[in-house]
């Protein structure tokens, strides 16, 4: 059994600046992928902030005016998914590790399987507080139909970071004011606003729960449910230096969180299994002059999408659709993109009639 145990660093670095926080996250992922840092389970909180997914535009998914008026930071994170609000009533974790030998020890074969593995840990964590919860496809844990936890993950080389967010006693009024989710996001889920969608653990349990208590219980459930031993550690000097450089050159810069958008002629949207997919498209005659994809969908291999977007430029729609089918993107995302291109083609034919 000892040989099957994964030994990870348990990291609580106390960083509350959301911009530096994500610089640390990317630094650890890069270093773990290169074998320069050990596998790490990081627990953290930040000052009131909105984290938007890497494929989202904060001008569409957050109320920028409200956030600036109330001192709520907005930062685009490096992983996918939807915008989330964080404050002192919530906390997050990130697990950084190489695929090998971790997948074999966890009994899984694909990165996507981590959603189920960690979902089961979180369900057990809820049960420890007397709350009955269930994992909900693709990446949430719910009590009834209300979300109490969400997760996202990305790959870099042979390493993965899987991250999760817990609502303990979050200010839901502030959350609802800070976020601007599209109605398409709510489609088919039986609710139409943020308040009806989310739930704090303290409310579900019927009593106050402290963040340190919730964090400690999560560590216990990790070690109890998974073949993992978590040993407290600290960021090394090299890790801090690299994170500070990434903070200064990327995350602290306005253009990272608010990138300049290219003008596109057509914007279409649809709902995939993992989230909303928006397609910005510019056609020159029968060919694609420019294409971009936004939304809160999940995608571990971001390089696949970048390669596709570069490859379809100058292609006619049928050729672009073939490239999508051959891209290796998740089935729900490729199907959504095909639907949107087909819709664009029908619109174009109608305009020409």
Q: The domain containing residue 303 runs over which residues?
A: 266-352
Element (H, E) at 92: strand 90-98
The whole-angstrom separation of Cα 277 and Cα 274 is 9
The whole-angstrom separation of Cα 214 and Cα 249 is 34
Q: Which residues pair with residue 85 across a beta bridge?
A: 50
Q: Answer yes or no: do 197 and 328 share one domain.
A: no
Q: Answer yes or no: do 163 and 251 share one domain.
A: yes
Judged on CB neighbours under 10 Å (0-12, 13-18, 19+), 348 is middle
Question: Does residue 174 contact residue 70 with C-beta atoms inside 8 Å?
Answer: yes
Domain boundary among the residues 230, 257, 284 is at 257
pTM, full prediction: 0.93
327: which DSSP letter? S
> Residue 132: how many CB atoms within 10 A of its CB?
10
Q: Answer yes or no: do 119 and 91 share one domain.
A: yes
Torsion on CA atoms 311, 261, 186, 273, rounded to nearest 10: 10
Q: Answer yes or no: do 242 and 281 share one domain.
A: no
Q: Answer yes or no: do 239 and 278 share one domain.
A: no
Q: Answer yes or no: do 186 and 321 share one domain.
A: no
Q: Answer yes or no: do 236 and 293 share one domain.
A: no
Q: Answer yes or no: do 284 and 192 share one domain.
A: no
Phi, psi of 252 (to 5 degrees): -80, -5
- pLDDT score recorded for residue 266: 85
- pLDDT score recorded for residue 263: 78
> Residue 137: how many CB atoms within 10 A of its CB?
10
DSSP states of 223-244: HHHSSEEEEEE---HHHHHHHH
Q: Answer yes or no: do 284 and 144 share one domain.
A: no
Phi, psi of 335 (to 5 degrees): -65, -40
Question: Using only C-alpha atoms, what is the Rg of the chain?
Answer: 21
Q: Answer yes or no: do 252 and 112 share one domain.
A: yes
Domain boundary among the residues 234, 257, 280 is at 257
Q: Which structure tokens are listed for 328?
A: 């290796």
Q: Answer yes or no: do 274 and 239 share one domain.
A: no
- pLDDT score recorded for residue 345: 84
- pLDDT score recorded for residue 85: 98
Question: Does residue 55 contact residue 296 with C-beta atoms inside 8 Å?
Answer: yes
Domain boundary among the residues 210, 229, 257 is at 257
Q: Answer yes or no: do 43 and 124 share one domain.
A: yes
Number of independent structural domains in the chain:
2
CATH code, domain carrying 330: 3.30.390.50
- pLDDT score recorded for residue 1: 33
Phi, psi of 254 (to 5 degrees): -55, -35
Per-residue pLDDT tens digits of the chain, which is 353 residues long: 334 799 999 999 999 999 999 999 999 999 999 999 999 999 999 999 999 999 999 999 999 999 999 999 999 999 999 999 999 999 999 999 999 999 999 999 999 999 999 999 999 999 999 999 999 999 999 999 999 999 999 999 999 999 999 999 999 999 999 999 987 877 666 778 899 999 999 999 999 999 999 999 999 999 999 999 999 999 999 999 999 999 999 999 999 999 988 778 889 999 999 999 999 999 888 899 999 999 999 999 999 999 999 999 999 999 999 999 999 999 999 999 999 999 988 876 665 55
Buried b (16+ CB within 10 A) or exposed e, 148-183: bbbbbbbbbeebbbbbbbbbbbbbbebbbbbbbbbe
Q: Which structure tokens are listed for 223?
A: 């070690």
pLDDT tens digits, 79-117: 999 999 999 999 999 999 999 999 999 999 999 999 999
- pLDDT score recorded for residue 353: 52
CATH code, domain carrying 193: 3.30.930.10
């Amino acid at each position: 059994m000892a040989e099957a145990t994964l030994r990870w660093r348990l990291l609580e670095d106390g960083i509350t600046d959301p911009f530096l926080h994500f610089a640390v996250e990317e630094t650890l992922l890069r270093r773990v992928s290169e074998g320069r840092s050990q596998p790490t389970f990081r627990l953290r909180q930040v000052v009131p902030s909105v984290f938007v997914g890497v494929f989202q535009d904060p001008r569409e998914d957050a109320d920028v005016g409200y956030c600036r008026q109330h001192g709520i930071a907005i930062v685009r994170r490096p992983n996918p998914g939807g915008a989330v609000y964080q404050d002192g009533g919530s906390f997050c974790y990130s697990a950084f590790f190489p695929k090998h030998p971790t997948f074999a020890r966890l009994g899984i074969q694909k990165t996507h399987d981590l959603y189920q593995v960690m979902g089961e840990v979180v369900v057990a964590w809820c049960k420890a507080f007397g709350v009955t919860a269930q994992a909900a496809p693709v990446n949430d844990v719910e009590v009834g139909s209300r979300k109490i936890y969400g997760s996202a993950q990305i790959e870099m080389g042979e390493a993965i970071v899987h991250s999760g967010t817990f609502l303990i006693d979050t200010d839901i009024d502030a959350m609802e004011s800070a976020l601007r989710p599209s109605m398409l996001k709510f489609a088919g889920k039986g609710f139409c606003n943020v308040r009806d969608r989310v739930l704090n653990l303290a409310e579900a349990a019927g009593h106050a729960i402290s963040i340190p208590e919730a964090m400690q219980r999560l560590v216990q459930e990790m070690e109890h449910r998974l073949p993992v031993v978590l040993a407290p550690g600290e960021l090394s000097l090299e890790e801090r230096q690299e994170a500070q450089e990434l903070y200064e050159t990327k995350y602290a810069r306005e253009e990272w969180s608010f990138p300049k958008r290219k003008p596109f002629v057509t914007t279409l949207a649809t709902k995939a299994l993992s989230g909303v997919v928006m397609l910005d498209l510019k056609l020159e005659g029968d060919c694609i002059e420019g294409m971009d994809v936004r939304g809160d969908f999940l995608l571990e291999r971001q390089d696949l999408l970048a390669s596709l977007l570069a490859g379809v430029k100058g292609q006619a729609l049928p050729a672009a659709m073939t490239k999508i089918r051959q891209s290796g993107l998740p089935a729900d995302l490729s199907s959504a993109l095909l639907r949107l291109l087909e819709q664009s083609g029908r619109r174009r034919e109608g305009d020409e009639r």
